[in-house]
């Protein structure tokens, strides 16, 4: 796969001496959705600003299609689109006018412009709202609109900062579905900075975890989940609660909690958890069962905590 973005040994030190990025190495290839996770102040925003050419690195290189952006600033404008965390739009413009305004900056006009406007309206499911003013849309609808405008501008790399912050569940699902479609599009990739673990786990092929400007872990969500020994958690609702008590007599767990009819059990090994599930299923059966082995979210939190201590 073609490497669209390559960041090598990137370091950014501000005039006050704060080292926001410390020797970062990141790669984004065609067909990938890459996630960046880190606490507030980890250096994610500084990283994005440098990729966009808004900040000059202290050391290191940022390349887009093997061209160094400091030597060829036009390469950023031609190949990268960015959706910020804060929703930026003109409230008095209609949805259609907002789309036209954004796409005209790309040089689109006449029939091609009309075609792209229709694509954005369809992709964001806002055909029936095209004559509504921006202030009449919900935050979820506006995020869908801006995301689809960025996609319609047809650049190889799309950078998103908290793409589903303050968005309802339905809009979030639609955004995830739209982003997933980019994987099958030729010469496309996405870089996401997010605090939403579920989002990163569901969407991303590769994840970089940043603490205090340094990358402390990288890999697929599955690989990240195995970096630390974490307990196996089982949450379930049995058909027969009384029979579950018998299983605990010979299957020793690390922890057990029951709220109403919902059981939560923790084991130190996956095999013990699987054996427990088999025993409960035979004796009591399951109305609901959820197994995390290990939990991506809890592993990331543990990595961040360990990183903050160093």
For 286-304, the pLDDT digits (tens) are: 999 998 777 788 888 888 8
Same domain, 258 and 214: no
Number of domains in the chain: 2
CATH number at residue 269: 3.30.70.260
How many other C-beta atoms can be found within 10 angstroms of the C-beta atom of residue 215?
19
Same domain, 265 and 221: no
| Residues linked to residue 206 through DSSP beta bridges, in sequence order | 34
Q: What's the CA gap between 73 and 68, in Å, rounded?
A: 8
Same domain, 135 and 277: no
pLDDT, tens only, 71-121: 998 999 999 999 888 777 788 889 999 888 888 888 888 888 999 899 888
Same domain, 151 and 38: yes
Q: Which residue has the higher pLDDT, 78 or 245?
A: 78
Q: What's the CA gap between 56 and 108, in Å, rounded?
A: 31
Same domain, 266 and 148: no
Residue among 146, 215, 177, 214 at smallest CA distance from 206: 215
pLDDT confidence bin for 261, thresholds 50/70/90: confident
Is 162 a domain residue? yes
**Taking a C-beta distance cutoff of 8 angstroms, is the pair 289, 236 a contact?**
yes
Residue among 215, 200, 289, 198 at smallest CA distance from 190: 200
Q: Which residue has the higher pLDDT, 140 or 14?
A: 14
Same domain, 102 and 213: yes
Asked if pLDDT for residue 250 goes beyond 80, the answer is: no
Same domain, 29 and 105: yes
Residue among 28, 22, 20 at smallest CA distance from 1: 28
Is 206 a domain residue? yes
Element (H, E) at 59: strand 59-64
List strands edge to edge, sheet with 157-161: 80-83, 157-161, 189-193, 33-37, 206-211, 214-219
Same domain, 117 and 133: yes
List the domain range (segments joined by +) for residue 190: 3-225
The encoded tokens of residue 75 equal 């390469």
Asked if pLDDT for residue 10 goes beyond 90, the answer is: yes
Asked if pLDDT for residue 9 goes beyond 70, the answer is: yes
Same domain, 167 and 276: no
Q: Give the pLDDT score at 69.
A: 94
User: In terms of DSSP H, where are the helices of the chain?
Assistant: 44-51, 74-79, 95-104, 110-123, 139-152, 169-181, 197-203, 221-225, 241-247, 270-283, 296-309
User: What does R_g of the chain's alpha carbons equal in angstroms?
Assistant: 23
Same domain, 113 and 258: no
Is 145 a domain residue? yes
Is 249 a domain residue? yes
Q: Which of 179, 195, 225 is the last residue of a domain?
A: 225
């Amino acid at each position: 796969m073609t490497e669209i973005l390559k960041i090598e040994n990137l370091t950014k030190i501000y005039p006050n001496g704060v080292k926001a990025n410390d020797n970062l190495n990141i790669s984004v290839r065609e067909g990938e959705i890459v996630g960046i996770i880190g606490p507030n102040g980890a250096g994610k925003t500084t990283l994005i600003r440098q990729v966009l050419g808004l900040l000059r690195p202290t050391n290191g290189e940022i390349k887009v299609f093997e061209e160094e952006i400091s030597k060829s600033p036009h390469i950023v404008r031609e190949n990268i689109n960015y959706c910020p965390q804060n929703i930026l739009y003109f409230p008095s413009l209609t949805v259609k006018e907002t789309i036209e305004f954004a796409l005209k900056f790309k040089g689109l006009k006449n029939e091609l412009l009309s075609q792209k406007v229709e694509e954005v309206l369809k992709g964001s499911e806002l055909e029936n709202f095209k004559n509504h003013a921006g202030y009449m849309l919900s935050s979820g609808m506006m995020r869908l609109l801006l995301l689809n405008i960025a996609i319609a501008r047809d650049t190889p790399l799309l950078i998103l900062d908290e793409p589903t912050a303050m968005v309802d569940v339905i809009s979030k699902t639609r955004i995830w579905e739209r982003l997933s479609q980019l994987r099958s599009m030729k010469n496309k990739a996405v870089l996401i900075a997010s605090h939403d673990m579920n989002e990163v786990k569901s969407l991303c092929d590769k994840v970089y975890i940043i603490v205090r400007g340094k990358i402390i872990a990288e890999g697929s969500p599955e690989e990240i989940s195995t970096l630390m020994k974490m307990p196996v958690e089982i949450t379930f609702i049995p058909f027969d609660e009384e029979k579950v008590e018998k299983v605990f007599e010979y299957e020793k767990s690390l922890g057990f909690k029951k709220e109403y009819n919902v059981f939560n059990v923790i084991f130190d090994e996956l095999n013990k958890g699987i054996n427990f599930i088999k025993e409960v299923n035979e004796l009591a059966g399951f109305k609901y069962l959820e197994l995390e082995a290990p939990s991506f979210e809890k592993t990331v939190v543990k990595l961040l905590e360990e990183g903050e201590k160093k």
